[in-house]
Amino acid sequence: MAGQDDAVAAVRTVLARLCKRAGLSPKRLRSTEIDVRPLLGLYAIDQHARLSRTDPAEAVLPVVADLARQLPPPHRLIVDVGLALGLLRGHLPDALDAAQLYAPDLGRRRDYLSAHWPALLRAAGAEPTAAPTPTTRQLRGRLEHEAFTLLAQRLVTASGYASVLPTRQAAAAGDGRAGTVTVIGDAVLDNICSIIDHFPGPDDPATGTFRDRPGGKGLNRAVAAARLGLHVRLISVVGDDLRGRRILDHLRAAGVDTDLVRVVPGADTPVAVVLVTSTGEPLNIACPNERVRLTPEDLHTTAARHAIADADAVLLTFEPPPAVIETALELTARAPRPRLLVQPVPSASGPQRFYRHFGAIDYLIGTRRELTALAPGGSGDLDDAELCRRLRVLGARTVCIAEGFAAHVRSDDLEVDIGRFPVVLEDSPGAPAAFVAALARRIVAAGGHRAGPEDFRWATAAMAATQSTGDISAAMPTADAVDRMVELAAEASADGAGNR
């Protein structure tokens, strides 16, 4: 935490010093005697400069202005006037003077802000309040310190901005990909141990192989969707350590857009231990870092809301904190466009808090155990039909039990039972990610229409095409590999019928 606190303090100091004279501008940043490196070196500034093909000094103003707009009205007003951002220019009532509010001298700006505080606060969108009007001295002291501390915190932890997003989306729309998917979930470094013979006992060591690879449910689904030809954006968090940089490089190499992956300064990227049996069954041990986790604020940035609303499909697991899951469900429900595919894994304690959002879920996908843990009154005694019925009563449009390279699907107008694909392993660590990514691929490619039997068959084939006891994201299949699995299964079925 000390690393992040130091970064916030350094950025706050730079912003406070830049308030003097005419405020923040690219020209000022290039010519000032102030050491502005803590500000220019921020991940968000570097990202904006890279994406908009400008230098960091040019990128600071749009990033700061975008984040300032998201502050509570009193803080927003103080930051706006202090840095002379001009957020209220063109939005002031006739009785107020923008030239005075954004005067070239900080003292004049403060005086005008104090003299017209109630009217300016209303112009900034605040509700009427009986709070006293701050004096110039109070502004110069505690109030500016609080406002710039909050802005500095947002800058240090920020990840993406809408000012460059539409351009990138337009480019993506013409690059031949099937459509756009936004994935919300974790990105970690998996320590994978593939057990060759048996699980160890106290006096019975086992033999296996070890490797570490980028993983996490969010990352694996993002890579799986990109491998199938979709334009993919991942909303996630990593630390600024070697593991975090390795994860970002892995995602970019896979064709995943990382603009919305927040990088936490001075923090270690989480790891997970994955034990994979000789039959392909994975057992997971999470080693989280609470500093490096998604927050609801990550989804409320302009760019994240844009990414969710404009996606053809949104993929969500229960890996993020419950408040983030609720926020994702709420934002997706408000957006008219995306199909929402949810996998309730890992199982959440107290899943009832999500029930009111189930009407937003187009496809609820999981194993029998995962879906039973989610269902009201769930127990191991529920048969498939009753399990699906209980979850559909809550609002989920389609419920799919997907495991063991087979699938059972129920909705108001669909009953599909897809038998096990003829493969050697009993399970595969990458199967859930491959299934949801493949289903999203079919839905998006069909223009968002409801999935039918052949779409679910293709998604089940994608599970079978991931057979692996090692690197999970590397096992994600291409569309051609899934097609081949469908053909092989058809041939095996025909041969079996011919031999009877």
Range with lowest mean pLDDT among 21-30, 278-287, 396-405, 472-481: 278-287
Share of the chain above pLDDT 70, in %: 90
Sign of CA dihedral 453, 456, 460, 461: positive
**Taking 50 as the threshold, does the pLDDT of residue 16 lie above it?**
yes
Q: What is the per-residue pLDDT across 152-168, written as a single tens digit (0 to 9) for each?
A: 988 887 654 434 444 34
81, 110 contact by CB (below 8 A): yes
Q: What is the per-residue pLDDT across 385-425, written as a single tens digit (0 to 9) for each?
A: 999 999 999 999 999 999 999 999 999 999 999 999 988 77
pLDDT score, position 265: 83
More confident call, 492 vs 128: 492
Q: What is the DSSP string of 222-239?
A: HHHHHHTT-EEEEEEEEE
3-state secondary structure of 278: coil
Q: What is the C-alpha separation between 358 and 268, in angstroms, rounded?
A: 34
Residues whose CB is less than 8 angstroms from the CB of residue 308 and which lie 6 or more positions away in sequence, other chains included: 182, 299, 314, 328, 331, 332, 335, 338
State the burial class of residue 278 (Cβ atoms within 10 Å of its Cβ: 0-12, 13-18, 19+): middle
Mean pLDDT of the chain: 87
**Taking 70 as the threshold, does the pLDDT of residue 499 lie above it?**
no
Q: What is the per-residue pLDDT across 196-247, written as a single tens digit (0 to 9) for each?
A: 566 677 887 877 777 788 999 999 999 999 999 999 999 999 998 889 999 9
Share of the chain above pLDDT 90, in %: 60
- Number of other CB atoms surrounding residue 156 within 10 Å: 25
Q: What is the C-alpha separation between 25 and 29, in angstroms, rounded?
A: 6
14, 38 contact by CB (below 8 A): yes
pLDDT score, position 178: 74
Range with lowest mean pLDDT among 254-258, 370-374, 466-470: 466-470
pLDDT score, position 422: 83
**Taking 60 as the threshold, does the pLDDT of residue 170 lie above it?**
no
260, 305 contact by CB (below 8 A): no
Q: What is the C-alpha separation between 440 and 257, in angstroms, rounded?
A: 17
On whether the pTM is more than 0.75, the answer is: no
Residue 303 tokens, joined:
């760019």
